[in-house]
Amino acid sequence: MFYTGQMHGKSTEYRHFLLKVIEHHAWAIRVEDTMKKLKVVSDTQFKQRPVLSSELSRQEKVFVANGTEFDLKQSDIVRNGHFKVTLANPLGPEMKSDWYVYKPDARIYDTKTKLTVISDTLFKQRPVLSNQLSDREKIFVPNGTEYYLQSYLPAEGQHVKVAIANAFLGPENRTVWYIYKPDIRILGDTINLSVISDTLFKTSPKMSSQLGSDEKVFVQNTTELALVSHELAPANHVKIELAEPSFNNRSELTWYAYKPDIEIEGNETDNQPKNETPRPAPSGPYIKLPGFQGNFYLSNPIIPNGHFTWGEATHGGSRIPVDRNVVYGIIRIARVMEDVRDRLGGRPLTINSWYRDPVTNRRVGGASRSRHLVGDAVDFVAPGIHPYDVYDRLHGWWGSKGGLASATVFTHIDTRGYYARWSYGF
């Protein structure tokens, strides 16, 4: 236990020292709670060089059995099909910490996101009733079982689609399963980037031919990386911040990736929006919008003959866009919402949240890079359809046009222009 009361009579130096001790222990606790791990999934050799094991001497390799797990200090991706890892505890006759591991033989994961089964349940290969599945498509998992997750997303029928990081389950050793949401609890968030086509990560959003060899790094298809954040960048790129340096001999965390080559899944840690208060009574029948002439009546549709009004977009006229770019964002997502309404059978949709000014966004717990800040995001409810089913109906259609997510009480859609999916976890 740490002393956190007042430090009467103590010198400034002593107070600073004590605060440093507290910070150090707090950091150590956070590291322990979110340790990165490596699990061996096939008998393999840990090597001192990333080459075929037949090219190495006996002193340069050590056999490691399937199922063995290690705590990691660091992991990098090297180009010829290996991970470079630094173990927390040395290994081998010479007690070395740095090793190369053939990628197909190992899984690297962190412990940020944990799934706990809170009621005996079935993990399923499809999000349907269990009596519609064969025995090979489902497995029994008892109450109290825990797994670490690589990612999780909403799915139809109040299911959650999970990618398990530290176990292979079922007769076919699968990691991706569907689980009935009321039977589990998920704590923690992580953002995972998947490379879906061989690509280059770049230090600036330019054509690769305009960059020197030290300004880009090759990243192979199927590579997966943990992110801290991501946002739209110029020239059809996404600006990403890696959770840790991930490429051999490169310390950079910030890179630019070509939008069509990546998919991003997972929620930012600060993105936990609360239910918003009902729209206030309008202070008048119309508002003024920056960069535009004339009056915009709150009861008028944003799109001619459309179903969504300026009052819905501006929370009853209480949130005036900060500039004309926000107005364009509102118009852009309004067109999308008309399509969403049609895809959901033409039923009226209830708007929970549309444009948020920065003060409101902080107050309601929105992400610091929320698309609501630029006007092109909407949280909505389709009466009579569970938000997870709304997500499932829109997912394939929306593709890489923007972000799509669900909580159990609303669905989110935005026009950020690249593939992003997440669950809010509540």
Predicted confidence at residue 8, as pLDDT, reads 42
pLDDT in tens, 284-298: 798 899 989 889 999
Q: What is the pTM of this model?
A: 0.78
**What span, in angstroms and rounded, lies between the C-alpha atoms of 76 and 95?**
20
> At residue 1, does pLDDT exceed 60?
no
**Which range, 22-36, 180-194, 322-336, is most confident?**
322-336
Domain with CATH 2.30.30.40 in the chain: 36-110
> At residue 420, does pLDDT exceed 90?
yes
Sheet holding 69-78, edge to edge: 61-64, 44-47, 96-102, 82-91, 69-78, 36-40, 106-110
Predicted confidence at residue 34, as pLDDT, reads 58
- Would strands 350-353 and 377-381 be described as parallel, antiparallel, or unpaired? antiparallel
Q: What is the mean pLDDT of the chain?
A: 87
Whose CA is closest to 405, among 148, 114, 189, 83? 189
> At residue 409, does pLDDT exceed 50?
yes
* 227 vs 271, higher pLDDT: 227
Length of the chain, in residues: 426
Predicted confidence at residue 282, as pLDDT, reads 66
* 64 vs 281, higher pLDDT: 64
Predicted confidence at residue 29, as pLDDT, reads 33
**What span, in angstroms and rounded, lies between the C-alpha atoms of 267 and 269?**
6
39 within 8 A of 56, measured Cβ to Cβ: no
> At residue 275, does pLDDT exceed 70?
no
Under the banding of pLDDT at 50, 70 and 90, the label for residue 12 is very low
pLDDT in tens, 206-247: 999 999 999 999 998 988 888 989 999 999 999 999 988 888
Predicted confidence at residue 280, as pLDDT, reads 67
Domain with CATH 3.30.1380.10 in the chain: 286-423
> At residue 33, does pLDDT exceed 70?
no
CATH number of 36-110: 2.30.30.40
Question: In this prediction, what percent of the chain has a pLDDT beyond 90?
Answer: 62
Beta-bridge mates of residue 191: 227
286-423: CATH topology? Muramoyl-pentapeptide Carboxypeptidase; domain 2 (3.30.1380)
Sheet holding 420-423, edge to edge: 216-219, 199-202, 254-258, 237-242, 224-233, 191-195, 262-265, 420-423, 403-406, 411-414, 377-381, 350-353
Predicted confidence at residue 414, as pLDDT, reads 97
Which two tokens mark 109? 């994961």
